[in-house]
Amino acid sequence: MSALLHRFRPLTPEMEEIQAQMEAHARSYGLDFFTTVFEVVDSEQLNAVAAYGGFPTRYPHWRFGMEYEQLTKGYSYGLQKIYELVINNDPCYAYLLASNGITDHKLVMAHVYGHCDFFKNNAYFAHTNRKMIDEMANHGNRIRDYMDRFGIEEVETFIDNCLCIEDLVDIHSTRIKRRDDSTKYHFQDATEEEEDAPQATRFQSKGYMDSFVNPKAAMDAEVARKTRELQKKEHFPSEPMQDVMLFVLENAPLKAWQRDVLSIIRDEAYYFAPQAQTKIMNEGWATYWHSTIMTKHAMIEKDLICYADHCSGTLAGSRTRLNPYKLGLELYRDIEDRWNRGAYGEEYERCDDHLAKKNWDKKTGLGRQKIFEVRRVHNDLTFIDEFLTLDFCREHKLFSFGYNTDSGYYEIESRQFEEVKKRLLFNLTNVGRPIIYVKDGNHKNRGELYLEHRFSGVELELKYAKDTLTNLYQLWKRPVHIGTNLENSPVTLTFDGVEFINPAEEKAKK
Amino acid sequence: MVMKIDRDSSRFKQIVRGKIRENLRKYVTHGEMIGRKGKDLVSIPLPQLDVPHFRYGQNGRGGVGQGEGEPGQPIAAGDDEGDGQGKAGGDPGQHVLEVDISLEELAAILGDELELPRIEPKGKANITQDKVRYTSVRRVGPESLRHFRRTYVEALRRQVSEGTYRPADPKIIPIKEDRRYRSWESVPEPVANAVILYMMDVSGSMTDEQKEIVRTESFWIDTWLRSQYDGIERRYIIHDAAAKEVDEQTFYHTRESGGTRISAAYKVCADLLKNHYDPAEWNVYCFQFSDGDNWGEDNKTSLALLREQILPKCNLFCYGQVESPYGSGEFLRVLEEAFGDEHEVLVTSEIESKEAIYDSIKTFLGKGK
């Protein structure tokens, strides 16, 4: 890896000096990060690196090529430009665009140190592999090797199939132990072997007392309970399992190389998951720090216009797109302000006087401390849940919007705080993806896979569901189902190896 | 540096080509390509090239925005194939993948898919043109043609043999004798030139729909023939009762009323051929589109013109009959009666609807002429 990276251009002495300054400023505020290596690249290289999700040595796949095409086109038409790219790794790697001016380099470096601090300290990143650059290179080599041995087409198609369930992971399993680690020393106990049918315990009694000593109701209840327990034990998996990837990995009839490829994709999914989980917080944090460092220290007169221009570009709001940079930054500032004034806690919440609340100042001065704590323990979902307040929502004119099927337009739905917050939290739950878990790996006792969509009022996109099931079948090799809701009634969608079956549609036809 | 991305990029393009091939019939049928034609590239919209995931459908779309506006106020146009992720910060609407593909490549795909034979230009080997090719290296020449690598190697060789080359400080300074220049020779190459003559009936019975079909079909014909010949000229003739030569724009946008006299068009066509396109030098392609209506007594004149003055000069004469609510469709039968089903040069095809364009192209160009 390092050999490859060093083929990029080194920093100029001027930039090295700036880097040293920026790092010193960042450290002076208590930001804590891994060593950060800056690489200067041209736009093509940057687009290529970005297409690979930041890892130039990643395994080959057409979608990276597609991503690259889009980035390149967007760049050449002047529609988009990647300013900065940081890799969560120890050391952190950050890419600077060679054609940027010196002011931009300052801004980007300050921004990057924010990200690096976040990567190192946020709890949701704790599980990530800090040697991911090496790991990715290994992944790349393994997959390239498989391609050499089994053919590009074959391996790539398999990767396509795996990517369909890439998002079906259990993002919280990195912090919550879902099940005991199985060990190879676990032998099935003779007593675990269940005998035929469950029977109730029968006490000895004289014949005429029997119906009193062994009441029928109690006996039946016991049998029912035992049967339930037995069923539970027989259930596979015993508890619904959100990590569909893991389930498939452990139970699908895959070849060794396929198992390895799937595990690679799963590893990468877990590595990237926290970035999606903390987009608002991470960008907000980095923006907070580039803004603080630039305005308080690093900026000189000639930087002003350029800085203001680019900073406002980053923070531009839009009615159809909630800018994560902007939202994150403003929330951190709001939190800092409230904790500086002591505007939190029971006494504050209970106060009815608007003016008193507005001028509340207990001079607690805990703001900085609080935001450092927030960046350590929260993710976007809990961050919004905890800190998005009514006042904030009003001040920043937030609204929720939805799609109106009749008019074909996105329309503003509400400015009610509860509605806005609900919508935002919904969009952040499970990173905006439907929650899906494995309910049964031996459906109908025929080895079919049954997934369940935890329905929360929003239907699945049918076309995608169909394609996903079709691809999943390629992994599972037996019919696959997903239980979900369509038009307010539960349905099971199936791909049986030949065709896609949607009972709701067939009913409609009849 | 060589980036690995090049590989993935070309792999992606390969997949895209596969997609275009798969959907070629659709692209041929819908005139989408026209108007997207740049100089050498066409932009093809591909709806989706995407790894499917389970995701939320229509009623989950939406998010949180910021700014002014009352509830109920529309803020953005929806798109049927919307992004659908309803992500905070996700744009509503979706990106259509626009893929640039060269006309040559498109023609190749068309040729493969329709199994079009490559065209054998008729005996034109005697027409040649000199083409310049850089094939050799000389010691003299203009600086603009200096061959850097050869010069460098010569200089290196000389310095090594002179003993002035020091590995620790590998400076190579070429002197006059080291310089090498690219040199060219003129290669006579046979040139095949072709002319396409489009004729269209613009009488009242041809509606816009029919013209759209003609337009779409001629785009694909152009694309294919262009890939087969070095130089292509196109001439356009419109006719009702009278005929005249027009430019491309007029050809597709003129609407006349009045009767139909096909012989008028044939007359103009024959004159053009006689005056400008010597069949010894040109590969001549004629495409005639009509709804098959003709003035009764004109058929005889038309056939005579066709037989004596046009067909002998053509590589191919294609008659495409579009179905129109007003036309009688008579002329196709007249042609078939006069020339039989299997004529060497004359090809006829009926194009009932847009869907038939695909097969019609195959009929026209399937002869490999």
Domain CATH for B290:
3.40.50.410
Which of A38-52, A182-196, B195-209, B325-339 has the weakest average pLDDT? A182-196
Please, where are the H alpha helices in A77-209?
102-121, 132-150, 152-163
Residues in chain A closer than 8 A to B44 (CB atoms): none
Render pLDDT for B2-15 as a digit per residue (tens, 0 to 9): 467 888 888 888 88
Of B12, B65, B67, the CB nearest to A65: B12
In whole angstroms, give the CA distance from residue B126 to residue B278.
Answer: 14
Rounded to whole angstroms, the Cα distance separating B266 from A199 reads: 99
Residue range B183-209: mean pLDDT, rounded = 80
Q: What is the pLDDT of residue B95?
A: 53
Residue A493 has pLDDT above 60, yes or no: yes
Q: Are both B164 and B275 inside the same structural domain?
A: no
Q: Are B191 and B332 in contact (CB under 8 A)?
A: no
**Pairwise CB contact (< 8 Å): A461 & B68:** no
Report residue A507's pLDDT band, with 50, 70 and 90 as the boundaries: confident
B236 and B348 assigned to the same domain = yes
Residue of B nearest to A316 (CA): B66
Q: Are residues B337 and B235 part of one domain?
A: yes
**A397 touches A326 (CB < 8 A):** no
Tell me what pLDDT residue B92 has: 35
Query: Is residue B353, in this structure, part of any structural domain at all?
Result: yes
Min Cα–Cα distance to chain A from B155, Å:
29
Which residues lie below 8 Å from residue A507, measured CB to CB, with a gap of 6+? none
A62·B12 Cβ contact <8 A: yes
* Domain match, B154 and B252 both: no
Pairing of strands A480-486, A448-453: parallel
Give the closest-approach CA distance of A64 to chain B in angstroms: 6
In chain B, how many domains are there?
Answer: 3
Same-domain check for residues B234 and B218: yes
Q: Across the interface, do A399 and B65 touch by the CB < 8 Å criterion?
A: yes
Instruction: Say which amino acid occupies A229.
Output: E
Residues B290 and B344 in one domain: yes
With beta carbons under 8 A apart, name residues in chain A contacting B64.
Answer: 322, 398-401, 420, 423-424, 427
Q: Are residue B152 and residue B234 in the same domain, yes or no?
A: no
pLDDT digits (tens, 9 = 90+) for B201-239: 887 777 778 888 888 888 888 888 887 777 778 899 988
Shared domain check, B273 and B340: yes
Across A98-127, average pLDDT: 93
B contacts of A467 (beta carbons < 8 Å): 52
Best interface-test mutation with B: which of A320, A330, A460 has the largest number of B CBs within 10 A? A320
Q: Which residue of A has its CA nearest to B64?
A: A400
B300 and B246 in one domain?
yes
- Interchain proximity B54–A411, CB inside 8 Å: no
Considering the domain boundaries, does residue B344 fall inside one? yes
Question: Please, what is the average pLDDT of chain A?
Answer: 88
> Higher confidence at residue B233 or residue A64?
A64
Of the residues B83, B115, B147, which one is the last residue of a structural domain? B115
Taking the CA of residue A485 and the nearest CA in chain B, the distance in Å comes to 12
Q: Nearest by CB to B52, which of A47, A164, A415?
A: A164
Across A115-124, A188-197, A468-477, A483-492, least confident range: A188-197
CA distance B103 to chain A (A): 19
For chain B, the average pLDDT equals: 79
Triad B140, B145, B150: Cα angle to 5°: 75
Of the ranges A155-164, B182-191, B206-215, B306-315, which one carries the lowest mean pLDDT score? B182-191
Size of interface A-B (CB pairs under 8 A): 234
Chain B residues touching residue A453 (CB < 8 angstroms): 54
Contact B10 A65 (CB under 8 A): yes
Residues of A in Cβ contact (< 8 Å) with B53: 164-167, 433, 464, 468
ipTM > 0.95? no
Q: How would residue A9 be classed by pLDDT, with cut points 50, 70 and 90?
A: confident
Option in B10, B70, B78 nearest A412 (CB)? B70
Residues of A in contact with B52 (CB under 8 A): 164, 464, 467-468, 471
Q: Which residue has the higher pLDDT, A391 or B326?
A: A391
Domain boundaries, chain A: 2-122+278-301, 316-429
Q: Is the pLDDT of residue A331 over 70?
A: yes
Three-state SS annotation for B27-81: HHHCHHHCCCECCCEEEEEECCCCCCCCCECHHHCEEEEECCCCCCCEEEECCCC
Measure in Å the smallest separation between the Cα of A380 and chain B Cα atoms. Answer: 11
Locate the chain A residue with the closest alpha carbon to B92: A320
Residues B105 and B143 in one domain: no
State in Å, rounded, how far the first CA of chain A is from the last one: 61
For residue A84, the SS3 value is strand
Q: Cα–Cα distances in Å, from A456 out to A242, A297, B59, B60? A: 16, 48, 12, 10
Domain boundary among B170, B188, B206: B188
Is there a contact between B82 and A403 (Cβ–Cβ < 8 Å)? Answer: yes
Out of A63, A424, A460, whose CB is closest to B51?
A63
Answer for the pair A489, A495: CB distance below 8 angstroms, yes or no. Answer: no
CA of B1, closest CA in chain A: separation in Å?
A: 7
For residue B71, which residues of chain A lie inside 8 Å, CB to CB? 399, 411-415
- On the question of pLDDT at B94 being above 70, the answer is no
Residues from chain B that touch A321, judged by Cβ atoms under 8 A, are: 63, 65, 89-91
* Alpha carbon distance A7, A57 (integer Å): 13
Chain A contact set for B65 (CB, 8 A) = 318-322, 398-401, 412
A337–chain B nearest CA distance, Å: 21
- Supply the range of the domain harboring residue B19: 1-51+93-115
Given pLDDT bands bounded at 50, 70 and 90, which one contains residue A363? confident
Report if residue B301 sits inside a domain: yes
Q: Is the same domain home to B257 and B291? A: yes
Of the candidates A399, A423, A464, the beta carbon closest to that of B52 is on: A464
Question: Concatenated DSSP letters for A455-495?
Answer: -SS-PBPHHHHHHHHHHHHHHH-S-EEEEEEETTEEEEEEE
Tell whether the model's pLDDT for residue A478 goes beyond 90: yes
Q: Answer yes or no: do A52 and B5 touch at CB < 8 A.
A: yes
What is the average per-residue pLDDT within B88-109? 63
